[in-house]
Amino acid sequence: MDLKKEIGNLLRLFFNEATWIGIAQQVFKILFVIFLAMIVVRIGKVIIGRMFTFQLKTKLRPSERREKTLLRLLENMLSYIVYFSAILAILSDFMDISGLLASAGVLGLAVGFGAQSLVKDVISGFFIIFEDQFSVGDYVQIGEALGTVEEIGLRTTKISAYGGEIHIIPNGNINEVVNYSISNSLAVMDIRIAYETDIQRAESLIEEFIGGLTSKYDELVSPPTLIGVEDLSGSEIVFRVTAETQPVMQWAFGRKFRKDLKLFLDSHGIEIPYPKMITYQRKEGEEEDESKRV
């Protein structure tokens, strides 16, 4: 009898109009809170973006590298705070969250003592941003990871390598950073010519070529310099040219420079050394003379 009574109560509750109205109201509240959180995040990101746009027009502004880093960090923090508040608002309709918050505080204290690596990552991430060690868009080397910084968070840093790989590095593990984007770079090009070439003429032609390159290449900061003869190897003479370029542009400039210089030297008859093979063939008479000698 008790089972039939329970089943009857459930059926009456299931077919009760007030039950479905209450469920619909709860679903509507949840969807409204989620929609409101998304709107707040969207508006907040727009406001943050406009704040940085306004700084671009003022004289007192941080570097563009740091602006990108702070912009991404503030957007992430805004998303975390708003969505966490939305979750608490949804849970408050189903339970009393005061006890949950108190338990979370105790749990957070315990985690703070236990998760030392997490605390170390957060503190290291704060100092990376505060000291502007590197920023989003910088070309850096951290350990074996070499590439462009995609994102800097309070816990991890993401680096995109040349082949598309993404290195995710905990900030607490970052002990040494090589940043290639802070100062100008130095391009070093070695030019090899054959020993048969007139060295004085080759030197004057190279100086003539590099004399008007500043206006031709946007990567250059100052005119290239011919250092002189760098090496005398077994088959070639090596001239060295150095040039100051914009950060991380030394490789792009070097590729263009070598191509144009090769075409320039070819047009003036300067030969680039390459392996040569000499074949010696004896005549029949020479073979007979050799046999008589034996």
Residues near 205 by beta carbon (within 8 Å), at least 6 away in sequence: 264, 265, 268, 270
How far is 192 from 232, CA to CA, in rounded Å?
Answer: 10
Question: Along the 294 residues of the chain, how does pLDDT read in single tens digits?
Answer: 466 666 656 656 566 666 667 677 777 888 888 888 888 888 888 887 777 665 554 444 445 666 666 777 777 778 878 887 888 777 776 666 665 556 555 555 555 555 567 778 777 887 887 777 888 888 999 988 999 998 887 788 899 988 888 999 988 888 888 988 888 888 999 988 888 888 888 888 888 888 877 778 888 888 888 988 888 877 788 899 999 988 888 888 889 888 888 888 888 888 777 766 667 666 655 555 555 554
How many CB atoms are located within 10 Å of the residue 91 CB? 12
C-alpha to C-alpha distance for 199 and 266, rounded to whole angstroms: 15
pTM: 0.54
